[in-house]
Chains A and B, each alone.
Chain A
Amino acid sequence: MRKKRSSQSRLKKDVLEQSLCTGCGACVGLCPYQMVYKDRTVQLFDCDLPDGRCRAFCPRTPSDLPLLRESLFDALDATDEIGPVKEFWIARAKDAGLRARSQHGGTVTALLRLAMSEGWIDAAIVSGRLSEREPEGRLIDDAGALADYARSRFWAAPTVAAFHRAPEGEGRRIGVVATPCQALALAKIRTAKIDGYDKGKTLSLVIGLFCGWTLALEPFQNLLETYQLSAANLTGMDIPAGKNILELHTAEGPVNVPMAEVDACVREACRYCVDSTAEFADLSVGAARYGRNSGEMQNWNQVIVRSETGKKLVSLARSRGILEFRETPQEALHELKNAAAEKKKKALARIIAKSRSPQNLLYLNPGDTVVKKYLKT
């Protein structure tokens, strides 16, 4: 009998060597064989086992996305562009202090704090501070400490690995802040049917982040060097709407880097990603940036509520006065959908350029109706 190929070697061939690895950490923290170093997934030794969870959870191995959608969301909420939409809001944290420490409207941190103080989750996994040497997911069980992690960094942290490593306890529940690829991995974890594995049940809340791409750490560090900067100097970073720059915040003031330079540092894997709104999260949050008058929208978030859990949390936040809302213009959702559809088309075109066949979409299924719609024919 021919020996089944190890999951690890299949991951290596199908994901790592295809430059599809997003560094989400879904394959790390389950065994001693795989690690994330800087922002790269590294296989230390051959584990030699088939049917590994590493491969089962990876967001870039083929999976049945329609089935995932069906088991996590209400079919009536489905949209092709941005996944399930139960509700769509423009919102922000009411706490102005929190907003000041946050990336945009502070919505994510406000919701996490609420979920934790209400006892919906015992701990939250967020990506580490900007100043930390190695990007890592952090398990935080003190609601007061969450604001320390409120700012975005633009490179991947292996957040899902922190979920794998989180200690299990009776009835313990965990919330995770996730990029689209991480949210997909977490959806695979939540719905996994693997003998002896039920940690997915502890995953009580996934707050997704809108994501256009992430930066590959090494080229970005090299770019920083040309500006006499290192990651340790950064206090924050942002892409202000309409300016075509990456704004780096430092103690000495902002440094603007032209987008063309930044683009060269984008992680290769991100170019094959069809999801910009974390379609598999309970709710997804991003900067509000629509219309010409984007300055007015600064410090507000767009919020897509996808699941029942997401809906309950947002409505609790509203009734407790944790979040404040403003009127939600129709064109906001429209613009978001258009942008998301554009990303899907581009990514699919690149996937076909890589696989050289519209029948082979690497991790995506050509039969998936959502995928089919954006395939250039």
Chain B
Amino acid sequence: MTRLLSPAGSRVLFLGNEAIARGALEAGVSVATGYPGTPSSEVIESLATVARGRNLYVEWSVNEKVALEVAAAASFAGLRSMAVMKQNGVNVASDFLLHLTASGTRGGLVLVSCEDPGALSSVNEGESRYFAGMLEMPLLEPADFQEAKDMTKWAFELSEAIGNVVMLRSVTRMSHASGNVICGKFPAKTRKAVFRCDGPIMDSQTGPMISTPVVAKHLLRQQKLKTVQALFEKSPFNCYTGPARPDLLLVTASACSLYAAEAVEMLGLQKRVGILKIGTTWPLPPRLVSGHLRKAGKILIVEEVMAFLEENVKVLAAGDPKLSKGKTFFGKYDGTLPFAGELNPDIVADALAKIFKIRRDALSPSYLEEARKTAAMLPPREQTFCAGCPHRASFWSIHNAIALDSREGFVCGDIGCYSMAALTPANGYWTMPTLHSMGSGTGLAGGFAKLAPFGFKKPVLTVCGDSTFYHAVIPALINAQHNRADVTFIVLDNQGTAMTGFQPHPGIEVNALKESVPAVDIAAVCRAIGAKVTVCDPFDLAATGAVLTDFLAEKGLLKVLILRQACALSPEKKGKKTFEMKVDEELCLGDACGCNRLCTRIFRCPALVWDRKKKKAAIDEVVCAGCGVCASICPQKAIVKTPVASAFASGG
């Protein structure tokens, strides 16, 4: 039996995301949807593993908006449901969310947003907490693993109590850290899906689920918040620790409350600083917060990333002149804490030290010296494509085609492992100068392609992954085709949502529940919109290069190249080499070759190494994935590939 289904009362070590999943199970969730995105993916992944036994429908949706729509349908039919996404996924879902918070919900509906302060695995550090304020829905932020579980369960109850979506926000350090959780009971009863829509228009339990009459429904949404505030006043997720009359009140939420507690301890300020940890961050419970604010003259607000809590605390204080009189607020607006990036206990301790004018040597000089020495011993590492990654081969061909074309063509980038072509330009051989949100590469490319009347002469290419194609590229692609945009559109089809852990997508014949489902063929979609389509193996550099140079030369239309080759880390490929690679030391001329180390200096597969003793190229057999691509770049044909018999025997 999986840990996720541990019996009530048992103490289990859960990943933060598993704790959220467990909370949903204890709440009796029936439908859980999401789109993969770090740090959110494990919530849906873990629920999928127990779905069959719990009569649970789990879906990797095509994108976050659709995920929320699928979950909302379940809510409208009276079931408890949840949609899970990363921070910027909420932006994708936000148009539906705007209308959903207006129509209201029935069965408990929880929107889980797992966010990435500091952008550890994102190209943004977006904040979805502002959506809670903007769309007037309650926001909960767990500060530990038990809370992650308990709060999730309660979020469903709260959603049902007010008839609206509840947002639960986690961060990387919560979602991806692990802690002990005491499990609760699973509900005995299961619900039946029933959708009533014959009631009065203002009755969201029986009437039509629509956002009109707009003003009346808007007022209704705001009334619900009064109920929420009343519930939040009594919530056990808000707590105060510290002296009755502290010098400074530290208001915090989420993982930051752990940093705050540690920082106070580090500085020995337990008797001078009180910590108000808020779990119900929006709308703030006014009586509770005012009561604590009265305790101290100095207030420090500690949160990631923007000053959402700080602003709301200040608004609350400003509403009561007696409360705000003589108070000093510290936080992001006064520069005590940074407005960007992740926090940690040191940053919080520095902020406290500054306020209390305490001298703080975080680390002793001898320790720093040792650290410097140790750091120098570490081999330099760069963010790069794996050995055997099809993207390296694809970008090699893209680069060369652009160079041959000689019009300074460029690639509009998109979101996936191939984003690294923009982050570490050497990966993409300096071809990819733009990178934004999912699908934006294609939209931008279509835009650049229409600039010819203004003197723009560069040819435009764009790349997207297979999962990204379904997620947000199709409208932009149709736009390019319809508007006759001269774009070379390349799908880097590595047969799965590789970057987040091979979740299935609509191009795969298996869904989240491991059921057999029809795959939607990318090539067929592109052909259907009228584009010229070619499918190629990126490991065949000659064929790929020829298609790309032809595409660049063919002007005035949308051209689609699908480069299909599974990710080197995909379950079907991992650990299986197609070729045994070897450098023929007789043929490799080393530095005498005019190639000036093309393989290790330019191509830069991590499995290609320069043997300093022999002064020749060599293959690191442990790292090499046996894709065979480097054999076709060596001008001396010194890199030799031999087919591995077992790869064929096993069909690999």
The answer to whether B2 has its CB under 8 Å from any CB of chain A is: no
Contact B403 A196 (CB under 8 A): no
The one of A44, A45, A52 in contact with B594, judged by C-beta atoms closer than 8 angstroms, is A52
The answer to whether B549 has its CB under 8 Å from any CB of chain A is: yes
CB distance from B545 to the nearest CB of A (A): 10
- Chain B residues, Cβ within 8 Å of A49: 594, 596
| Given A31-B635, A32-B633, A32-B635: A44 in contact with B596 (beta carbons within 8 A) | no
CB within 8 Å of A: which B628-652 residues: 633, 635
Contact B594 A37 (CB under 8 A): no
The answer to whether A53 has its CB under 8 Å from any CB of chain B is: yes
Contact A47 B404 (CB under 8 A): no
The answer to whether B598 has its CB under 8 Å from any CB of chain A is: yes
Total residues of chain A contacting the partner, CB 8 A:
17
Give complex CA distance A53, B594 in Å.
9
- Chain B residues, Cβ within 8 Å of A40: 406
CB distance from B544 to the nearest CB of A (A): 15
- Chain B residues, Cβ within 8 Å of A43: 403
The answer to whether A35 has its CB under 8 Å from any CB of chain B is: yes
Q: Taking CB as reference atom, which chain B residue is nearest A32?
A: B635
CB distance from B19 to the nearest CB of A (A): 49
Give complex CA distance A30, B594 in Å.
7
Write the A20-63 contact mask toward B (1 if CB under 8 angstroms, else 0).
00000000001111010100101111011100110000000000
Contact A31 B594 (CB under 8 A): yes
| Given A32-B633, A32-B635: A37 in contact with B596 (beta carbons within 8 A) | no
Contact B594 A42 (CB under 8 A): no
- Chain B residues, Cβ within 8 Å of A37: 404-406, 549
- Chain A residues, Cβ within 8 Å of B403: 42-44
Give complex CA distance A31, B549 in Å.
21
Interface size grouping (class) on chain B = 10 to 19
- Chain A residues, Cβ within 8 Å of B399: 44
- Chain A residues, Cβ within 8 Å of B318: none
Give complex CA distance A37, B546 in Å.
11
- Chain A residues, Cβ within 8 Å of B91: none
| Given A49-B594, A52-B594, A53-B594: A44 in contact with B400 (beta carbons within 8 A) | yes
CB distance from B405 to the nearest CB of A (A): 8
Contact B595 A31 (CB under 8 A): yes
The one of A30, A45, A52, A53 in contact with B602, judged by C-beta atoms closer than 8 angstroms, is A45
- Chain A residues, Cβ within 8 Å of B602: 45
- Chain B residues, Cβ within 8 Å of A47: 594, 596
Contact B400 A32 (CB under 8 A): no
The answer to whether B592 has its CB under 8 Å from any CB of chain A is: yes
| Given A32-B598, A32-B633, A45-B429: A196 in contact with B406 (beta carbons within 8 A) | no
- Chain B residues, Cβ within 8 Å of A42: 403-404, 406
Q: Is the interface of B mostly helix, strand, loop or mixed?
A: helix
CB within 8 Å of B: which A320-353 residues: none
Write the B399-432 contact mask toward A (1 if CB under 8 angstroms, else 0).
1100111100000000000000000000001000
- Chain B residues, Cβ within 8 Å of A52: 594
Give complex CA distance A43, B400 in Å.
9
Give complex CA distance A43, B596 in Å.
14
Give complex CA distance A335, B1 in Å.
99
- Chain A residues, Cβ within 8 Å of B633: 32
Q: Taking CB as reference atom, which chain B residue is nearest A29?
A: B635
- Chain A residues, Cβ within 8 Å of B549: 37
- Chain A residues, Cβ within 8 Å of B598: 32-33, 45
A-B CB proximity, top 9 nearest: A37-B404, A31-B594, A32-B635, A44-B403, A45-B602, A49-B596, A47-B596, A32-B598, A42-B404
Give complex CA distance A45, B592 in Å.
18
Give complex CA distance A6, B598 in Å.
15
Given A30-B594, A33-B596, A42-B406, output 6 extra A-B contacts at Cβ < 8 Å.
Answer: A32-B635, A43-B403, A47-B594, A48-B601, A52-B594, A196-B592
- Chain B residues, Cβ within 8 Å of A45: 429, 598, 602
CB distance from B593 to the nearest CB of A (A): 8
Q: Taking CB as reference atom, which chain B residue is nearest A8?
A: B596
Give complex CA distance A57, B526 in Å.
48
Contact A35 B429 (CB under 8 A): no
Q: Taking CB as reference atom, which chain A residue is nearest B598?
A: A32
Q: Taking CB as reference atom, which chain A residue is nearest B594?
A: A31
CB within 8 Å of B: which A241-298 residues: none
- Chain B residues, Cβ within 8 Å of A33: 595-596, 598
Interface centre among A40, A43, A47 (most CB of B within 10 A): A47
Interface centre among A30, A35, A42 (most CB of B within 10 A): A42
Q: List 18 A-B contacts (CB under 8 A).
A: A31-B594, A31-B596, A32-B598, A32-B633, A33-B596, A37-B405, A37-B549, A40-B406, A42-B403, A42-B404, A42-B406, A43-B403, A44-B400, A45-B429, A47-B596, A48-B596, A52-B594, A196-B592
- Chain A residues, Cβ within 8 Å of B429: 45
Write the B566-609 contact mask toward A (1 if CB under 8 angstroms, else 0).
00000000000000000000000000101110100110000000
Write the A166-182 contact mask toward B (1 if CB under 8 angstroms, else 0).
00000000000000000
Interface centre among A30, A31, A35 (most CB of B within 10 A): A31
Q: Taking CB as reference atom, which chain A residue is nearest B400?
A: A44
Write the B498-528 contact mask toward A (1 if CB under 8 angstroms, else 0).
0000000000000000000000000000000
Interface centre among A45, A48, A53 (most CB of B within 10 A): A45
CB distance from B295 to the nearest CB of A (A): 64
Interface centre among B399, B549, B598 (most CB of A within 10 A): B598
Q: Taking CB as reference atom, which chain A residue is nearest B399?
A: A44
Interface centre among A33, A44, A48 (most CB of B within 10 A): A44
Give complex CA distance A48, B596 in Å.
8
Give complex CA distance A40, B598 in Å.
22
CB distance from A352 to the nearest CB of B (A): 28
- Chain A residues, Cβ within 8 Å of B595: 31-33
- Chain A residues, Cβ within 8 Å of B592: 196
- Chain B residues, Cβ within 8 Å of A32: 595, 598, 633, 635
Interface centre among A35, A37, A43 (most CB of B within 10 A): A37
CB distance from A129 to the nearest CB of B (A): 20
Interface centre among A30, A33, A53 (most CB of B within 10 A): A33
CB distance from A117 to the nearest CB of B (A): 33
- Chain B residues, Cβ within 8 Å of A30: 594
Give complex CA distance A229, B91 in Å.
53
Give complex CA distance A35, B635 in Å.
13
CB distance from B440 to the nearest CB of A (A): 28
CB distance from A29 to the nearest CB of B (A): 10
CB distance from B4 to the nearest CB of A (A): 50
Give complex CA distance A44, B400 in Å.
6
CB within 8 Å of A: which B356-413 residues: 399-400, 403-406
Write the A184-195 contact mask toward B (1 if CB under 8 angstroms, else 0).
000000000000
Give complex CA distance A31, B404 in Å.
16
- Chain A residues, Cβ within 8 Å of B596: 31, 33, 47-49
Give complex CA distance A64, B596 in Å.
28
Write the A107-128 contact mask toward B (1 if CB under 8 angstroms, else 0).
0000000000000000000000
CB distance from B289 to the nearest CB of A (A): 60
CB distance from B167 to the nearest CB of A (A): 49
- Chain B residues, Cβ within 8 Å of A35: 404
Q: Taking CB as reference atom, which chain A residue is nearest B635?
A: A32
CB distance from A50 to the nearest CB of B (A): 11
Give complex CA distance A42, B402 in Å.
10
CB distance from B379 to the nearest CB of A (A): 23
CB distance from B459 to the nearest CB of A (A): 14
Give complex CA distance A31, B595 in Å.
5
Give complex CA distance A49, B404 in Å.
21
CB distance from B639 to the nearest CB of A (A): 12
CB distance from A138 to the nearest CB of B (A): 19
Q: Taking CB as reference atom, which chain A residue is nearest B405?
A: A37
Give complex CA distance A28, B511 in Å.
51
Q: Taking CB as reference atom, which chain A residue is nearest B592?
A: A196
Give complex CA distance A40, B400 in Å.
14
Give complex CA distance A35, B403 in Å.
10
- Chain A residues, Cβ within 8 Å of B601: 48
Write the B540-563 contact mask toward A (1 if CB under 8 angstroms, else 0).
000000000100000000000000
